[in-house]
Structure formats: structure tokens, C-alpha cells
A and B are shown apart, each in its own frame.
Chain A
Amino acid sequence: MTESQKPIDPEKEKRKIKSDKRMKEIMTEYYVEAKTPREQRGKKIAWITSGGPVEPLICMDIIPVYPENYGAMIGASKMGVDLCEKSEEMGYSRDLCSYARADIASATVNGGPIGGLPEPDMLICCNNICGTVLKWYEVQARYFKVPLFILDTPICHTEFTKEMRQYVVKQIKEYIAFLEDVCGKPFDYDRMDEVGALSFRGQELWQAILDTTMHKPAPITCFDAFFHLAMIVTLRGTRTVVDYYEMLLAEMKERIAAGIGMIPDEKHRLLWDNLPIWYKMRWLSDKFASHNACLVADTYTSGWTSSMKYLDPDDFLGSLAEGYTRIFLNAGTDIMADNIMGMAEKYDAVGVVFHSNRSCKPYSLGQYDIQRIVQEKMGLPTLMIEADMVDERSFSESQIDTRIDAFIEML
């Protein structure tokens, strides 16, 4: 039976997000341009970390490419184990981040989805998400022999000091000088204002979309957010994102008006913490749905709007240093606990699901304390899933299946 002959389930059809199709088109166009041979493409390519300041690149007509987004694609297409094993053959320990391992292996064999990423002309590494990206980008700088710029954003355990501010502000100037040097043209400050405003607008819209789940029933779950996140990560600072998210937000509002929830009979509203388990998205989504449990929000997708309060849409460049330093992950564990508790209140969640992710130490170490705080202060039941975002070998399906069942019973 071909696709078109399948009987259409009107219930399922009703819940499908219509904008998905446009999103896929945009992402395809983006990768097609990036993968166009250098001579025809004209534009330079920068590989950049997911939390890195991409706006100056857009401003310089550089195509940003995100190995982390690619890591997610590798995970979702279940190519993670194969690539991770390749990197282990190259001498990288299995205990290292699976995004890094998969990307490092993929670069040498042009394997993985879309046949590998286009080669970079430069590497931009911002360590506001972890120390791992520094080591990962050093590996790629040696492999591709291209210039590496490191934006060092000091971790704000308890405070963002004036010394930190001065340091990052100065580095932003060094960043711009680096780009001018690599591109051989002056930085366009006027255009930066436009790009900055678009970036801010994109973040606002993304947060508005995430906030639609405050409504009961929630029009989407975090599994949908994980999918639509690609846009704010990869195309932040462009008109494309703003247009697309406006469309998606309108669709969400329509769903709310029509009373359409993603989970037909939404009973338990839950939060998710940490990165998705990319290769088990469908399985997890179905599993929770079978219990009428709706993961209404997560700490990960809202990470890209976590420092909006420090950004100034009218002086984006001037506020960039603080905005990119004070993201949720670059803060103390207690601040992260406060963030989760704030979200539980905001989205009226009755429990929290933690993904203890072997690949991501800054996100995962401290989760046990956060779990305890959430339980003590709010009395919320919690579930800890030990897994990995890309490396399927660290996922024990039967065990996790039983634990989810037991957790739901507790609610």
C-alpha cells in the first residue's frame, strides 16, 4: 500500500502540525545551499556551537553550520552507534560526548545523514554550553586546518561580574576583527542592527510558541518543540525564522481556539529536563501518550530564549556579551533548579522527567540535587532516565519502560 492509499485517521490528522511541511522545506533549502560546492556558493561557511553568537556571521553573509544540530540528525536517523564506534576506532573514548564523537567520525568519512556537513572555512566555538565544545572544535581545527575563534564566556555560578562583562565585551570586538580578517571585508554595523532585531524577534516568537502549552490541553508537546527547535538554532537572526514562527504560532492559536491538544485525553502534565533522546523520540512520545501524559515543556528548547532578559533589541551588539554569557546552562545548579520550579508553576506541571545524559556533564551533573530540591520544595514526583542523546547503546528500553509505568502510577 502506498502512502496515498493509506486510510486517513481523522483523529490523527487533526492533531498533525500543518507547518511541519514548511519547516522541512526550509531546512532542506538551508542544507542544499550549504552543501553547494564552494565555487558556486560564493559564501563562506562557519561551523558554530549551538549557543554561539551567530548574528555577526549572518551579518557577514557567512553560512552558519551547526555540528550539534547535525548530531541531533544523526541521532534521530539512528546512525549514532555506527559513527560513535568509528570515532572509538580513531581513539576517542566511548565516555565522550556522542555529538562530538559522531561529528568527528562523520567528518572523516563523509558519512551520516545528508552525506556529511560541508567543510568549514572557520570554526566559532562558544563555551557557554560546555567545555566539551572547546576540545571538539580543537579536534576539527586540526583536521580541517582552518582558523578557530573561541568566545570564552565565564560560567556564572552565582554572579555575572564586571570583570566577566569586560572580558566578554572585549572578545566580541576580537570576534568581529576575526571575521573581518577571514572575510577580507569590513563589518557592517548597520546590518548588525537589523540582524540583531530579527534574532530577538525570533526568540520572542519561539518563546510565545512554547508558551502556548500553558493552555490545557497543550497544543504541542516537548517532542514537537524538539523538532521545531532546529529553526531557532540554525537560522537565528534571519527573516526566515520570524516568518516561519509567525506561521507556527498562528497555527498554535488556531489549535487552542479549536480545543485541539496533542494528547487526545491530556491527564498528566509533565516537564522534561536535558537534551532529547533523539533515537527514541517516537518511542518516548508514544509511551507517554499511552498514559495520557503530556510533556508540556522542557528546559532544553527554552534554552534559546533563556537570556532574552539580558538582550537589548535596540542595541543587540552592545548586549550580546551578557546575553550569550548568561544562558541557563552557564549558571549554577541552584539557578537551574529555580528555573525548573518556575517552569513547573508556569505550565502547571505535576511531575518532572529528568534525562541523565551521559554525553552532557554540565547539564546532567547536579540533576540529582535538582531532583531533590524539586521534590522537597514543590512535592513533585520525578523520574530519572539514565541514557544518552545519540549513542543508543546507553539506552535500556525494557528498564525505562517499566520505570515510566511506575512513575505514572505515582502521579
Chain B
Amino acid sequence: MKALEFFDHIVKHPGEYAEKWKKETHGKVIGHFCSYTPVEIITAAGALPFRIFSSGVDISKADAHLQAYSCSLVRGALEDALSGQLDFLDGTVFPHTCDSIQRLSDIWRMNTNFGFHSDLILPVKLIGESAGEYMTAVLRKFKEALEKNIGVRISEEDLKKGIETCNRVRENLGRLYSLRQKNLHVIQSSDVHTIFKASMIMDAKQAAEKLHGLVVELEGELEGELEGESKGDNDASVPERKRLVLSGGLCTMPDIYDIVETAGGAVVWDDFCTGSRYFEGEIEEMNDPIAAIASRYLKRVNCPAKHSGVLSRGEYLVEKVRQNQADGVIFLFLKFCDPHAFDYPYMKEMLEKQGVPSMLFEIEDQTSSEGQLKTRCEAFMEML
């Protein structure tokens, strides 16, 4: 599929994409780390919100700043920054989440020179009146800082357009998820992941258009199949795949999908910040666009570094397993990710109470984990 090649190229060469975008638009590129980055505001400013993923190179320069007990995302991103791989950035936004990102922001500010450095200190607590007010207030402040630093004026109209464009990206990503959810063979999970990652790097308007084209094409294919009653998952020649939900932070290991699929499984949903947490929840049309962005963050399922109740994430996971008729859950964490590691025991227990088996896999770095993950996955799949 040609569309897939397009997305794949961007994921493999994110810097090339950003530089080309800059040349064409003369716009600014703002790097960020998190699903709590208000990409709508950055888009409204005519800038490119660029999600920073660690390129996975060997760590050498970052070792002088970060202890070995920090996660591969934090160390890898710093390595990329210090070794000049992110030189196209005109700024970086650090939404406050975990302790490691908090300190990465300081180290980044003290050792790099990308221009605009923004600490977006959103509330950690997402419930209660004070948190809601504060969320809106800091987002408003962020908008002003961005305007000042990149020299633009963001009108209410710009904001509404930015929201609309980002909503379209999210809507299409959501449609992609439902396609995969219903029809496991229409699109492979590894491809969904690639498309997802690309859309976090791309210009929102372009992403929305490309995604829409792809989704329409896939939905058309599916319809054709259903009419012709050709091969589907109900076909007897296709062995029934085990349906799996993945849960964790950022998935830096695209191979997980191939591993799962080769082992006879199919990913039907996830609870990743590079997955459902990124696209779930449409921003409502409200008179105050900033308040509308805030409202989505307050309602959407939270990252474990934030708080919306002591059971919120467990309940979400159990519900997603039920909705997707999943057979099991794979917890996929970055090693040294404290917030996820703290939630694991209770979430596992909640699943157990529903009779849903799960397994945990910690990724230290990509290469060393692969073989081990394959073995563990195969064993887990046999157990299901």
C-alpha cells in the first residue's frame, strides 16, 4: 500500500520530514514528549508539534547527565538532542508528568539551545474544581508564551481551526482503531502503529488528509469484502487469533506487533500514550477554545503520572478488555517507568478478578529485549 510507505518513511526519517516542512512553510518546529501537549495550540500558531521519540542510538553523551536508572526514552531523547539529531527544533515543551521528565526538562534547558523552552506545569490532580481552573489557566499562559516566543498572534479563529484539524486527526485514528478492532486482517497492528507514530510527527492538516484517505480506502475494501463475502476472520481457513489489549506508556518497540501476530495473536486495543490516550476524546466546540482543550484532558483516561481517582486506569482497562472481547492483556513498560510500575499490581489483580490473564514485559532497550519478548509472548499465547 502506497500510503503505508509514506507513513513508514516519516517514522524512519522524522528529522528529514521536519526539515522539509520548515523549508516549505518557514514555520517553527516545537518538540514535545507527551500526550498532554496541547498540539492544537501549537498547530494554531502555525508551528509543527513534533513528538520526540528516542532514535534508539547507543547512549554516550547522555550518560554524563543521567543515571543508568532513568528510562530509555529520557536517556535516548537527551542523547539525540546532545548529538545534534534534533537541531531542527525551534523549541521544546515539557508537560509535567513523571519525575524523570521533570528532571529531563532541567537538564535539557541547561545543556541544549533550541530557543523556546516551556515547562507546562499542568495539574497532577485532574479532579476537583481547583484543578479544572488551573488547567485552563496554564494552557492560556502557554498560548501567550508561545505567541511571544515565536512571534505570532494566535486568534480565537486560529485556535478553533487548530482544534478542528487535530480533532480530525484523532477521529481518523479512531476509525483506524475500529477497523482493526472489527477486522483483524484489514490492517496489521504494526502498520497501525507506524501510521500513529507518523501522525504525531506530521503537520496536523496533512496528517488529517492522509489518514482520511487511508481510512476511506480501507473501509471501502472492507465493504467490498463483506458484500462478496470473501475471506474474513470467520472463514474457517483462518485460525482464530487471540485478541489482546496492550497497556503501558510509550510503545517504542514496533516489533511487538509482529511478534504478537506471529505467535497467533492480534492486538485489538491499547492503553498507550502513543495509542488510545492520544486520540480518545474529541474536543468539544465551546465558546472558549482553551477551556475546551482543558476539558478533554480532564475527561480523557489519565496517564498514571496523573490522578483521576484511585481505580480510574484499572476500570478503563477492564472496560476496554470487555468491549473488545479480548482474551488477554500484555503490560509493556519501559524499565524505570515508576508511574506504570506502581499501577501494575492492582490492574493485574482487577483483570484477574474478571478472569483475564495478563503478562508483564519491561523493555530496557530495543535490541536486547526482542528475543526475550518473543519467547514470553509465545508462552503467554499458548496459555490463553
Binding site for B on A (CB under 8 A): 90-93, 95-97, 100, 127, 130-132, 134-136, 138-139, 141-142, 148, 150, 152, 154-155, 157-158, 161, 163-164, 166-167, 170-171, 174, 332-334, 356, 358, 361-362, 364-369, 372, 386
Contacts and interface: CB of A to CB of B under 8 A. Distances in A.
B341 to A, nearest CB: 4
A196 B69 CA distance: 39
A386 B102 CA distance: 21
Contacts of A174: 128-130
Interface in B40-66: 64-66
Interface centre among B67, B341, B362 (most CB of A within 10 A): B67
Nearest to B121: A154
Contacts of A135: 304, 338-339, 342-343
A365 B100 contact: yes
B342 A96 contact: yes
Contacts of A139: 342, 345-346
Find the residue from A96, A136, A361, A366 having the highest chain B CB count within 10 A. A361
A167 B346 contact: no
A372 B310 CA distance: 40
Contact of A152 (B104, B124, B141): B124
Given A170-B129, A368-B64, A368-B65, A361 B124 contact: no
Contact of A93 (B129, B310, B311, B362): B362
15 contacts: A91-B348, A92-B342, A95-B336, A131-B339, A132-B338, A134-B124, A135-B343, A150-B125, A155-B121, A157-B102, A157-B119, A358-B67, A365-B100, A366-B106, A368-B64
A127 B103 CA distance: 15
A362 B100 CA distance: 7
B123 A131 contact: no
Contact of A155 (B69, B102, B110, B339): B102
A139 B344 CA distance: 11
Contact of B310 (A95, A141, A171): A141
Interface stretch (B131-139, B216-224, B259-267, B278-286): B131-139
- Secondary structure at the B interface, as helix, strand, loop or mixed, is helix
Contacts of A142: 310-311, 346
Nearest to A138: B310
Given A166-B137, A365-B103, 11 more contacts: A91-B348, A92-B344, A154-B134, A155-B121, A157-B106, A164-B121, A166-B134, A334-B110, A358-B67, A366-B106, A369-B111
A90 B362 CA distance: 17
- State which size class the interface on B falls in: 35 or more
Contacts of A358: 67, 69
Contacts of A164: 121, 134
A171 B128 CA distance: 9
B335 interface: yes
Interface of B: 64-67, 69-70, 96-100, 102-107, 109-111, 119, 121, 123-125, 128-131, 133-134, 137-138, 141, 304-305, 307, 310-311, 335-336, 338-339, 341-346, 348, 362
Contact of B124 (A127, A166, A372): A127
A152 B102 contact: no
Contact of A361 (B100, B342, B343): B100
B108 to A, nearest CB: 10
A260 B20 CA distance: 70
A368 B129 CA distance: 39
A167 B345 contact: no
Contact of A92 (B64, B130, B305, B345): B345
Given A134-B307, A333-B110, A368-B65, A362 B103 contact: yes
A361 B131 contact: no
A95 B338 contact: yes
B323 to A, nearest CB: 24
A131 B305 contact: yes
A157 B107 CA distance: 11
Residue in A139, A142, A157, A358 with the greatest tally of chain B CB atoms within 10 Å: A157
Contacts of B130: 167, 170-171, 174
Given A91-B348, A141-B310, A366 B103 contact: yes
B110 A91 contact: no
A129 B138 CA distance: 21
Contacts of B133: 166-167, 170
Nearest to B347: A91
Contact of A95 (B119, B335, B348): B335
B262 to A, nearest CB: 28
